[in-house]
Amino acid sequence: MSSAAATAGNDHLGFEIFYLYKGAVRRFLPDFLIHLTNGRRLVLEVKGEDSDRNRTKRRFLAEWVRGVNADGPWPMGVGCTARSR
């Protein structure tokens, strides 16, 4: 199992994912960007509940990761954590 070589909170990095929700284009900023010791990169989003909107964000983030992985040598993964209250 790899460990984190570097982590960054995404509060001021400007990394955002656009998604479509209820007919409107929206954006969200994933919580963390993580570089692992094995060279992979993770985009991590942490949520307190698994709402319809959060599932939509997760789906668009996973689609973005698939696109990045298909386009070049940037092995990306996605981690999403949700928990019901």
Domain that holds residue 45: 4-82
- The residue ranking higher by pLDDT, 4 or 85, is 4
pLDDT, tens digit (0-9, with 9 covering 90-100), for 8-64: 999 889 899 999 999 999 998 998 888 888 888 888 888 888 899 989 998 998 888
Long-range CB contacts (within 8 A, 24+) of 51-56: 53/21, 54/82, 56/19, 56/20, 56/21
State the pLDDT at residue 20.
96
Q: List the one residue out of 85, 76, 78, 28 whose CA is nearest residue 53.
A: 28
**What's the total number of domains in the chain?**
1
Q: Are 68 and 76 in contact (CB under 8 A)?
A: yes
Say what the pTM is.
Answer: 0.75
pLDDT score recorded for residue 53 = 93
